[in-house]
Amino acid sequence: MSGIHPFRILRARPLWMANGVITGVLALLFAVFYVGANIDPVDHLTKLPVGLVNADEGVGQVNLGAQITESIGKSTAGGDRIDWKVMDEKELKERLGKGKLFGALVVPADFTSSVTALTGTAATGTPARPTLTVLTNQSAGSIGSGLARTATTRAAANASLQVGKELTARIGTAEAKLPAAARVLLADPAAVTVEDGHPLDSHSGLGLTAFYYALTLVVVGMLSANVISGQVDHALGYTHNDMGPLRLHRPLIRATRVQTLAISATLMAGLSLLMGTLVMAGAIGLMGMDASHLPLLWLYSVCAIAVAGIGALTLLAVFGTPGMLVVTLVFIGMAVPTAGATTPIEALPGFYRFLAEFEPLRQITGGIRSILYYDAQGDAGLTRGWVMMVAALVAAALFGFGVLGWYDRKGLHRIPLETTPEKTATPT
């Protein structure tokens, strides 16, 4: 008994300084990652892929749709913020159905004929107004779809005004004889309609269920790693296990650091079968989330939890006590803003785009999005998801067992051999 009151440690400056530095850095990093990534997506927007389709059949030698799409494609008014992809309707449907486009502007087949008819019907007061169609794609991300909708709507409005100028110039002085409503219509002839280019089922969270499902997989894997790591240490006798007022302690079973990680990883792999099943049961069975390809979704869920969990176990084993902070930053702090589920990757600052290339949540979200929204097509994100999970598992194994093997060879055991009581060397 030291006779020192426990509260006296609050007078220790190192205690305040160490905890202040750690918690302060953590708070600053989360602010930078979360707020910094999303503070101004419009200003950081670069090359957002948006489709541009001319289905106009034209009238004679005149094809106003071709003029509009050519003008928009060459336009520099938006700088390099929008990457206009000129394509036909078939390709548009395919790319919207793979999440490769955030939206599109479509000039319909009868556009030229409808515009031409205005000059002949305006005087009667019953003209048929031509339309330009803006397509959205919430499945690719709500903010990205919104940015694309703004850009395409603006482009359609500008195109309508340009066509209006051509109409007015074509009829010349006859415009003055038209009714006021007809003159207004001729100045801005095209109506803009907005449609969903890739409709989702009602229980798809407006395109966000893939993100939240993937986030659940990562968080479950990360938190389970913390639980498994602690329980393995308790089972081996390295730590106590407090259960309310009770403290349980088992006799020490010596294990190298490599052996401990191998035991923990095996537990994680086995329990991922249970966790992946229960995540699906909760999301689909209890909450009614729309989903298809259920066997594939189950397999992907199990593997995602296993890989995230083994990666977290590796960081916990290599870094020790600070490992949970590293895990939190890697799997949550840096991952959520760079997942591309809310703010598109094209609207993030450069540093966050770099993180998005390897952050696990983005890769897992891409695979889940493909399964849930895009009929499990490989090039819609599923292939990348599988490849990156395999790469992450290999990297975790090489890093974890490599570093821990070096610890073991250097004799950096968790409890030095000479301090271990003989009676705790074997289990009872």
Give the residue-averaged pLDDT of 82-97. Answer: 93
Give the residue-averaged pLDDT of 25-54. Answer: 89
Give the residue-averaged pLDDT of 159-169. Answer: 81
Mean pLDDT of all residues belonging to the chain: 87
Residues in contact with 277: Cβ distance below 8 Å, sequence separation at least 6, in sequence order: 298, 302
Give the residue-averaged pLDDT of 250-264. Answer: 92
- β-strand 103-107 against 82-87: which pairing, if any? unpaired
Q: How many CA atoms lie within 13 A of 121 on its CB side?
A: 13
Place of tokens 């409005």: 157
pLDDT in the model for residue 425:
43
Give, in degrees to the nearest 5, the angle at Cα 41 between 39 and 138.
120
Give the residue-averaged pLDDT of 257-262. Answer: 95
Answer yes or no: is pLDDT of 77 > 70.
no
Q: Is 259 exposed, middle or buried (0-12, 13-18, 19+ CB in 10 A)?
A: middle
pTM above threshold 0.85: yes
Answer yes or no: is pLDDT of 177 > 70.
no
pLDDT in the model for residue 424:
44
pLDDT in the model for residue 175:
53
Q: What is the pLDDT of residues 93-147, one digit of tens each?
A: 999 999 999 999 999 998 888 887 776 654 455 567 889 999 999 999 888 999 9
Question: How far apart are alpha carbons 380 and 104 in whole angstroms?
Answer: 18
Give the residue-averaged pLDDT of 350-371. Answer: 93
Q: Which of 121-130, 184-193, 290-299, 401-410 has the lowest mean pLDDT?
A: 121-130
Q: What is the pLDDT of residues 324-336, one digit of tens each?
A: 999 999 999 999 9
Q: What is the pLDDT of residues 186-244, one digit of tens each?
A: 777 888 999 999 999 889 998 999 999 999 999 999 999 999 999 999 899 888 888 88
- Return the beta strands (E) in 119-236 as ranges: 131-136, 191-196
Q: What is the pLDDT of residues 178-197, one digit of tens each?
A: 555 566 677 778 889 999 99
Question: How far apart are alpha carbons 347 and 332 in whole angstroms?
Answer: 20
Inter-axis angle of helices 382-409 and 294-319, to 10 degrees?
30
pLDDT: which is higher, 247 or 327: 327
pLDDT in the model for residue 34:
85
pLDDT in the model for residue 399:
97
Q: Which of 28-42, 157-171, 225-239, 251-265 has the lowest mean pLDDT?
A: 157-171
Q: Which of 104-113, 306-315, 366-375 has the lowest mean pLDDT?
A: 104-113
% of residues, the chain, pLDDT over 90:
53
> Token pair of 47, please?
């090359």
pLDDT in the model for residue 224:
95
Residues in contact with 213: Cβ distance below 8 Å, sequence separation at least 6, in sequence order: 279, 283, 289, 368, 372
pLDDT in the model for residue 319:
94
